[in-house]
Amino acid sequence: MKLKRLFMLGAMIAAMCGTASATVGDVNGDGQVDIADVNGLIDMMLGKAAQNTAADLTGDGQVDIADVNMAIDIMLGKVTPEQPGDGIREGSAQQLFEVELKSLYEELDANAIHPTVATVGDYVVVCLGDGRTPVYVNKATGEKLGEIALGEAVPTGCVTSDENGNLVIANWTDGQGSNFCLWKTADVTAEPVKILEAPNAWGITLGDYVQVIGNLDGDATIVATFGGLYAQHIARWTVTGGVVNPEAQVVQVGGTSVQQIWSRDNNFNVAQRTSDPADGYFMGQYASGVDNFYFIDGATNEIAGTLLPAIAGDVSGWKYANCYCTTFNGVNYTVLFTMGFWPNWGLPGTLYLFNTDTVDYFDGVNTIATAPGLFGTYAVGDADFDVTPYAADGRVADVKLIPTKDGKRLDLVYTSNTHLTVGCVQFDCIAQ
């Protein structure tokens, strides 16, 4: 009876007051908070509909009458949800899931895959980079739910996400006359649309790593890292009003002081700090003794700062090349995934999350484990997981920092072909 009265009250409120333009409480993701969101919350509370991460308005870990009441208050303009301050709320980190890649694919040859991850809505998308259709899993549990609608997209490169809920698929090109393409979709069941087709005229591989900063439906920057001997270069495209400028700007990052090595083991990964290239980049590699994490000056494109390895003098089993940047709740963050090349030798993978509003601590003295800007570290892999046979060469990993569309949560997703897992750590900025 109470729920019936609540439903009728919500309907009368909607009829009298219309809708409110807010993101918190926008359970159905249509850009507004209205009676449809109230009804959706009631259905979730009663178990008639699957819960999603946007439904827990109060941030108490459950969907109940308090969330419904809060949605009504937001709709009426009585409540403006408070933020606890800039950036991630301290203590909000939680491991949503970590599962073996073998649970997602029947056949898995670690030496033949280049796994990457992305998020879209309540799903994490996993792409092996070997041409097989990417799969999507429940972000809360890691349960495989199906394969994405692929259409004409060619998943031989990687997947990534923008900051507006779009999934991006890239093909892999060898630079011998083929075109580098990107497709996007906001729905795993909807065929993606091609947004870029550019000739790879540089004679070297492209498609292993792509970063999107901003909103592909509005304004954004696309950054792709080259592979092989050209790996210290990036190609950058601008997006204005949802349209991608097909002319790429190619930039050498790090200058001639950076080693150039063919193997995928040693390939660089470059992450632009913000949407403004002048704010610089982060870069790493595996190069037997120079496994540093670098900050690159955005004006000169030269190395401007360095963080040393966590274990001084012992850098032979970790790769420092996998990084990603984003802005969340007004703060710039960068994540570094130091993947362990030999997990069964006791070389674990670790996720290092940094506040990079300032990079003064990239001073050549601090390590990645002692840097003042270090927000937290998170272990990768479980002792019970089967990591054999992991990749013996061409060892690669991927890590992403993706804010949810409502801006309330930040997803840290990761995978590799040595630990052979995919996982998600989630943070929030919800006042408690």
pLDDT of residue 392: 77
Reply yes or no: is the peptide bond before residue 389 cis, omega within 30 of 0.
yes
CB atoms within 10 A of CB 361: 18
pLDDT of residue 411: 96
Q: How many whole angstroms separate alpha carbon 35 and alpha carbon 12?
A: 9
Considering only CA atoms, give the Rg of the chain.
22
Phi, psi angles (nearest 5°) of residue 192: -70, 155
Q: How many whole angstroms separate alpha carbon 212 and alpha carbon 160?
A: 7
Work out the angle at residue 176's Cα, subtended by the Cα atoms of residues 148 and 263, and round it to the nearest 5 degrees. 75
Locate the domains of the chain by residue range.
2-76, 94-428
What's 290's DSSP letter?
Answer: -
pLDDT of residue 18: 37
Q: Which two tokens stand for residue 195?
A: 């947004």
Q: How many whole angstroms separate alpha carbon 263 and alpha carbon 231?
A: 10
Please state which CATH class domain 2-76 belongs to: mainly alpha
Digitized pLDDT (tens) for each residue of the chain, 432 residues in all? 333 333 333 333 333 333 333 356 778 877 678 888 889 889 888 888 888 777 888 777 788 898 888 888 888 766 655 554 589 998 999 999 999 999 999 888 988 999 999 999 999 999 999 999 999 999 999 999 999 999 999 999 999 999 999 999 999 998 787 899 999 999 999 999 999 999 988 888 899 999 999 999 999 999 998 886 656 788 999 999 999 999 999 988 876 556 554 456 666 788 999 989 999 999 877 665 566 788 999 999 998 999 888 766 555 556 666 899 999 999 999 999 988 777 766 677 889 999 999 999 999 999 999 999 999 999 887 666 676 778 877 788 899 999 998 888 999 999 998 888 999 999 998 876
Q: How many whole angstroms separate alpha carbon 132 and alpha carbon 110?
A: 14
Torsion-angle region of 412 (φ positive above 0: left; ψ -120 to 50: alpha; else: beta) = beta
Q: How many whole angstroms separate alpha carbon 303 and alpha carbon 109?
A: 36
pLDDT of residue 141: 95
pLDDT of residue 317: 59
Q: How many whole angstroms separate alpha carbon 86 and alpha carbon 278?
A: 23
Q: Which two tokens stand for residue 70?
A: 């809060």
pLDDT of residue 177: 78
- In CATH, which superfamily holds the domain spanning 94-428? TolB, C-terminal domain (2.120.10.30)
pLDDT of residue 14: 38
Our measurement of the distance from residue 178's CA atom to the centroid of its chain's CA atoms, rounded to an integer in Å, reads 27
Crossing angle of helices 2-17 and 35-45, rounded to 10°: 160
CB atoms within 10 A of CB 63: 24
pLDDT of residue 97: 95
